[in-house]
Amino acid sequence: MREKIGEDGADDLIALINKANDWQKEDILVFGEEKFERQLADELSKVNDKIAETRKEISLSKANMIKWMFIFWVGQIGAIVAILFVFFSK
């Protein structure tokens, strides 16, 4: 090659091949980075959806527990009032 294109031409060709190789490496890194960012965004979206679903379930559980506690307290107050009524009516 050096005989046909000369010393400067061979050096320039080698430099061009090295630059093309560097550009290719950069393109591969950029592509990999973009793919990673997309996958990360998808996974974070799934995690956020799961967190929202869990929070909803927890709030429903709390509401249900409060309802049953209220029913229990009303029953206890009713039982105490009945006992006091029987005790003081004699």
Q: Tell me the pTM.
A: 0.53
Provide the pLDDT for residue 63.
93
DSSP sequence for 37-70 = HHHHHHHHHHHHHHHHHHHHHHHHHHHHHHHHHH
Phi and psi at residue 17, in whole multiples of 5°? -65, -40
Letter for the amino acid at 49?
D
Provide the pLDDT for residue 62.
94
Residue ranges in the chain modelled with pLDDT below 50: none
